[in-house]
Amino acid sequence: MKLVIGGATGFVGREVLRQALNSPEITSIVTIGRRPVTVVDSTNIAKLTDIVMEDGEHYSESDIEKIANADACIWTIAVARTKALTTPFDICKKVTRDYTLAGIDALTKSNNKGKPLRFIYMSGVAISRDMNQDFRKWDKTTSPEMHQLRCMLEIELVSYASNSKGKVEICCVRPGYIAGDREIPGWVPPNIPEGIPQIERRDLVAACLKMGIDGIEKDPLSNDDAVRIGEEALGRFG
């Protein structure tokens, strides 16, 4: 299986890369990001190709050749919620929305395997496809404009898949608070707001990898479903 990882240097992306490198089922990995990846364990480094792109909207012929005929993509590139409060909106939009749409388009158009690309997008628990909601209620936790952008992006991704004539399948995963690795001694979770569910990073990633290999279970994928799938699959990827 050939896997593309969008954003392999972030908190979730690093774990996607680690588990993918350890999986014998994944024979080829291509990472896309603005910074080069760092791999501590180089045992399976031969199956990794790293693409560093200064502008994620434009793919060169060489980039297209490297990502061509991918079986699945796990996409984590976005401006983080906390950084969005201090980052100009045009940059947030470019990185979060424009890079994502350019990525799914390049992957889909370069896929000639005769079966659909599985595009797994890392969304968030608060995201919905209701564009009639009052986005101002999010002004204490994130930019209302940014929240609206991410809600709209899910709609755009679903629409892209629907219009692809079967070339791509989409899954928007909506995790709650993503906790660090469970085995760290003395780890205490932060004060998570009431009503926000939690998921271990390893479980979240294992769920995404399982769907990338075996097939997408549903869209969108809730935090609880990701926990269930990830806990069952973790031993497979570890």
Q: Give yes or no for residue 92 having a pLDDT over 70.
A: yes
Q: How far is CA 8 from the centre of its chain?
A: 9
CA distance 123 to 183: 25
- List pLDDT tens digits, range 5-26: 999 999 999 999 999 999 999 9
CA distance 74 to 132: 29
Residue 72 phi/psi, 5° resolution? -155, 160
Q: What is the CATH number of domain 2-237?
A: 3.40.50.720
- List pLDDT tens digits, range 96-132: 999 999 999 999 999 999 999 999 999 999 899 999 9
Percentage of residues in the chain with pLDDT exceeding 70? Answer: 92
pTM above 0.95, yes or no: no
Domain boundaries, the chain: 2-237
CA distance 218 to 174: 12
CA distance 195 to 141: 14
- Percentages (nearest 5) of helix, strand, coil residues in the chain: 40, 15, 40
Nearest CA-CA partner of 122 in 36, 233, 11: 11
- List pLDDT tens digits, range 148-197: 999 999 999 999 999 999 999 999 999 998 987 654 566 566 666 778 89
Nearest CA-CA partner of 238 in 189, 188, 200: 200
Predicted confidence at residue 139, as pLDDT, reads: 64
